[in-house]
Structure 1
Amino acid sequence: MMHRPFRAAGAVLAAVVAGLVCAAGVAEAGTGTFIYAGCSPSKYQPGTPFEASLESLLTSFANAAPNAGYSTFTAGANGTGGAAAYGLYQCRGDLDGGDCAACVRDAVGQLGQVCPAASAASLQLEGCYVRYDGSNFVGAPDTAMVYRKCSTSTSSDGGFLGSRDAVLGDLQQGAGGYKVASSGSVRGVAQCLGDLAAADCTACLAQAVGQLKGTCGTALAADVYLAQCYVRYWADGYYFRPAQDSQDDVGRTLAIVVGILAGLALFVVFVSFLRKTCN
Structure 2
Amino acid sequence: MDQVSGLRTVVATRYVTPFREGGSLPGLVEADDLGMYVLKFRGAGQGIKALVAEVVVGELARRLGFEVPEIVLVDLDPQLSKAEPDEEIQDLLNASGGINLGFDYLPGSFDFNPRVRDPGADLAARLLWLDTLVLNVDRSWRNPNMLLWHREVWLIDHGASLYFHHRWGPGWQPAAEYRYDASDHVMLPVAGSVTDADRALRPMVTAGVLTEVLALVPDEWLAADPAFDSPGDVRAAYRAFFEARLAQADTWVPAVEETRAARV
Question: Which structure has greater helix proportion?
Answer: 1
Per the normalisation by structure 2, the TM-score is 0.29
Per the normalisation by structure 1, the TM-score is 0.28
Question: Which structure has greater strand proportion?
Answer: 1
Who wins on radius of gyration, i.e. which is larger? 1
